[in-house]
Chains A and B, each alone.
Chain A
Amino acid sequence: MGFRNYLLKRLGYALLVLFIILSLNFLLFRIMPGDAVSMIMDPKFDLATKEELRSQFGIDQPIGTQYIKYLKSLLSFDMGRSFNTRRLVWDELKERLPNTLTLFFASFITTAAVGISLGVFAAARRGTFAENFVTGAGLFAYAVPGFFIQLMLLMIFGYYWPILPIRGTMSAPPPPGAMAQFLDRLWHLILPAGSLMVISFGSWALYTRNTMLEALGQDYIMTARAKGLDKKTVLYKHALRSVLPPILTLIFMSLPGAVTGAVITETIFSWFGVGKYLIDAVMQQDYPAAQGAFYLIALSVIVSNLLADLAYGLVDPRIRVGGGAK
């Protein structure tokens, strides 16, 4: 069965990447000048804590043993304690993860929906304003720094017309009532998620338009038209359906980029998420926290890559049924 082999191959590959990233994460914090513990050690710690840390890191053991220990601890999400809060890094990440996921899915779904439908729209109406708009928006998204657009949107909607909250995931104190809280969170979500959509829908729309146009130029579209199918059937059943594999791949391939975008977005809008946690940790030289956040982000990227492969395999009959090489 071709699909299973394909899947196993991709899974193995994802594990390889995970392993390499873990090793990199291990090495990065050890190739630095000075001894690893003094580097990771918060000078504010008292002697006993330092001793405990030393034994915890097992700095006296050979590097191989250390490495295996490190792998084991990370696989069980044991990322040590934050220098700043003295709390377990994983506990802190767990608090932030839902926020990041909320922002991520909200922006991702709106971006994909707006981008793909605009792209199809533009392809269906060649040479109209819609097409020029999409082409322009695509170029715009490629060349304009996203955080700049986000800053502008923040200035416009947060300060000039102060209609949207400028920071955070919810009001403090939160309004009473579950419904009110939900709406309050939604209200806080608009600017970060919306601005992410604004900066990235263009490339989606452009990509969809291009693949759609390519598909519309294919012989099988001519066949479909010649068969006397109506425009809608030709456009959706034949053209759109046949570009779904590349678009779906794009959806998942842009997951890592979306994670990256979330880091900056969370910083700009003070969104209480994993990305901001990484930046804060890096800024405060809180190495266990930085390492943990990086590990979590890398892991999510690997998983989304795997999802991309899976989705691609499911949607493309050449892989699903086997026979054709990728």
Chain B
Amino acid sequence: MSKIRGGNGNNVAQEPPKKLKKVTFWQQYRRKPLGMLGLCIVVVYVLAAIAAPIITQYDPTKDLFLADNLAAPLWMKNLSEKYKDAPVTISKTVDLDGWNVTEGADFSITKTTYDEEDFMLIDMPAASSSGEQDPMMEILKDIYTPEELAEMFGASAAAKTSFSMDFTFPYNYSPPNTFNFTFDYAVEGSSPEATTVARLLIISPSGKEYDIWGMDAYGDWPISYITVDGRDVPVKMRLGLGFFDDPSKIILSEKGDYKVKFMVETDSSTGAKIYITPVKINIPGLLHGILGTDHMGSDLWSQLIYGARISLLIGLTAAFISVFLGTTVGIISGYVGGAVDEVLMRFVDVLLAIPSLPILIVLSALLGTSVWNVVILVAMFSWMGTARLVRSQTLTLKERAFVEAAKASGATDGYVMVTHILPNVMPLVFSALVLRIPSAILTEASLSFLGLGDPRVPTWGRMLQNARGFGAFTVMAWWWLLPPGLALTFLSLAFVFIGNTVNEILNPRYRERS
């Protein structure tokens, strides 16, 4: 580094000629520790990008609600008191085999399908009169028809058939933010005036019963999609809670085995067929995976891994297009010279004078946000530096003997440019390419961060944007912010290391400039 005055430096640099053997690029490259570090980092990213589906089991954009929104990473339970007992997502579908029938075990309970969905079919027989009934009804039943009796004594007076089943699930965490049950439910074959009452209850380990859902069906009931969410107001009302109370905090405040009980009761004289799909129970976890979840309950780790694909793709493609453009313009401008050179270089000057991010913002808004628009826009506004560099190199090459010789022997300009100039500017172009990549990656990240990226693809810039926009700050979700930022940093640092090393080897004279 330091300049030794008086030419002693020459002595240091001069090796006996015999030692000067031709070394390949790779032989030189692998001796540079920073260059190798950069290369290793890039290899890791490339592997992550390729093996993304293996590294992470989730789709970053399609798999939503994997856990509660803004769930923390699993390892946070070791770091923070707040997450010590926090729940991980409990999600299971309980079909017929999972239920334990406690009443009406003698009914015909079968599995069936309807409209390509699995159902449990509970065939409730006609209401028998042997149940507990008003004694008056017994006396009067010979005089009146059952319909008339029902009218006189109300539904409760009629004969009833009941069925109930339950299943147990363990819950050993602190209360979640919500819980939900989903299933389809239908009643068929009931007499029109009959009432079929269904209930869903949660029974806590200490035996408290919470009636979270109920439906009174008069006659037949079409297939309806039932969803019971801890945050729903009807649930709160059923439980007698206030508007701002949180059922999940109350119901799931205990640790142990919870029971979910499904009950159905009908007074149909013709019996009733109860259709119910396997019940899906979901308690969104407050802890999830390696990096937690975003505001849509989507897996952040998978977004991070898939983000490598986009960053590499955009970085490489944009850099390639940009350097291709720059090289073409630079060679033509330098080689042809004259008015062409003047026009091209003024054009370069003008483009350089245009503030690139604002125009990228405006253009991407006008053209619409897609990955390819971003690539092309980033490339369009970044090739000018390369053009200048290549042009100046071309200018010196043009004067060299081999170019003169080629021209003298009648080669066309195009031929000379491609076969003589291009190979000689390649070292320059190559390092320009590598050094263009990080800036392309960062520009894309900035655009995504501003919300101008493709909304369909997961990028690190978008992760950062979401983190800012959807509350990562208020819950101090640094695990949402740090990984994409660091991923960007290391990737661009790696390319800077590689670029500088390549430059050092291929273009020692230009070292100072870049």
- Asked whether any CB of A lies within 8 Å of a CB of B in the complex, the reply is yes
Q: From residue 120 to 135 of chain A, which have CB atoms closer than 8 A to chain B?
A: 126
* A152 and B473 within 8 A (CB): no
- Please give the number of chain A residues whose Cβ is less than 8 angstroms from any Cβ of chain B in the complex: 50
Q: Does B163 contact A (CB under 8 A)?
A: no
Asked if A17 meets B353 with Cβ closer than 8 Å, knowing A145-B489, A278-B358, A279-B450, the reply is yes
Within 8 Å of chain A (Cβ to Cβ): is B481? yes
B1-45 vs A, CB cutoff 8 Å, 1 = contact: the mask equals 011010000000000000000000000000000000000000000
Interface residues in B457-514 (C-beta closer than 8 Å to A): 464, 467-468, 472-474, 476, 478, 481-482, 484-485, 488-489, 492-493, 496, 512
* B79 smallest CB distance to A (angstroms): 15
Residues of A within 8 A of B2 (CB): 126, 217
B496 neighbours in A (Cβ, 8 Å):
139, 142-143
Docked CA distance A305–B451 (Å): 29
Of A159, A217, A263, A298, which contacts B354 at CB under 8 A? A298
Question: How close is B281's CB to chain A, nearest CB, in angstroms?
Answer: 35
Q: List residues of chain A with CB within 8 A of the CB of B489.
A: 143-145, 148
A145, B485: Cβ atoms under 8 Å? yes
Q: Which residues of A are found within 8 Å of B362, using beta-carbon distances?
A: 28, 278, 282, 290-291, 294
Q: Are B355 and A159 in contact (CB under 8 A)?
A: no
A194 in the interface (beta carbon within 8 A): no
A311 CB–B CB distance under 8 Å = no
Contact indicator B493/A16 (Cβ below 8 Å): no
Contacts of B297 in A (CB 8 A): none
Chain A residues lying within 8 Å of B313, measured Cβ to Cβ, are none
Once A and B bind, how many residue pairs between them come within 8 Å at the CB atom? 125
Instruction: Contact check, A305 vs B356: say whether CB atoms are below 8 A apart.
Output: no
CB distance from A297 to the nearest CB of B (A): 5
Closest beta carbon of chain A to B147's beta carbon, Å: 59
Contacts of B346 in A (CB 8 A): 16
| Residues in B neighbouring A210, C-beta threshold 8 A | 512
Within 8 A of B (CB), among A42-92: none
- Is A244 among interface residues, defined by CB-CB distance under 8 A? no
Whole-angstrom distance between the Cβ of A203 and the nearest chain B Cβ: 12
Residue from B353, B438, B468 in contact with A302 in the complex, judged by beta carbons closer than 8 Å: B353
Contact segment of B80-88, B315-323, B423-431, B441-449:
B441-449
Give the CA-CA distance A158 to B473 in the complex, in Å.
9
| Known contacts A13-B349, A28-B363, A147-B464; A260 and B358 CB within 8 A of each other | yes
Add 13 more A-B contacts to A260-B357, A278-B358, A282-B361 (CB < 8 A): A13-B349, A17-B350, A148-B464, A151-B485, A160-B476, A279-B361, A282-B365, A294-B362, A297-B358, A298-B354, A298-B355, A301-B354, A302-B353
Can you list 17 A-B contacts (CB < 8 A)? A28-B362, A139-B496, A144-B488, A145-B446, A145-B492, A148-B484, A155-B472, A158-B473, A159-B476, A166-B473, A217-B2, A217-B3, A222-B5, A260-B355, A263-B358, A279-B450, A298-B359
A residues contacting B by CB (< 8 A) are: 13, 16-17, 20-21, 24, 28-29, 32, 126, 139, 142-145, 147-149, 151-152, 154-155, 158-160, 166, 210, 217, 222, 256, 259-260, 263-264, 267-268, 278-279, 282-283, 285, 290-291, 293-294, 297-298, 301-302, 305
